[in-house]
Amino acid sequence: MKITEDEVRYVADLANLRLTPEETARMQKEMDGILGYMDKLNELDTSQVEPMAQVLYGAGETATLRADIGRATLSNEDAVGNAVISGGGYFKVPRVIER
């Protein structure tokens, strides 16, 4: 077995994802099958291969830099406009510090 239900719960915590017990059981089965399939890669000897970290990059190292000049950006109103709760130009979240 590649992954247990306990490990599924651990990974769900890492991902900040609430799963129901039914989802956890199903996830364990599906991930186990898929991760088992992924083991196929171990058939290949890649000890002499450099990982492909960049897909394509033809331009010079500094080509994507622009002049350091200020320019208009999203307004504060637009930036928080899609938040569920905002106020005073900020996103609002549940209290994290007790006073």
44-75: burial string, b at 16+ Cβ within 10 Å, e else: eeeeeeeeeeeeeeeeeeeeeeeeeeeeeeee
Does position 6 bind another protein by CB under 8 A? no
Comparison of 51 and 88: residue with beta carbon closer to another protein: 51
| Among the listed residues 2, 32, 27, the one whose alpha carbon sits nearest the alpha carbon of residue 13 | 27
Residues that bind another protein (CB under 8 A): 3, 7-8, 11-12, 14-20, 23, 27, 30-31, 33-35, 37-44, 46, 49-53, 55-56, 58-59, 63-64, 66, 74-75, 78-85, 91, 93-94, 96
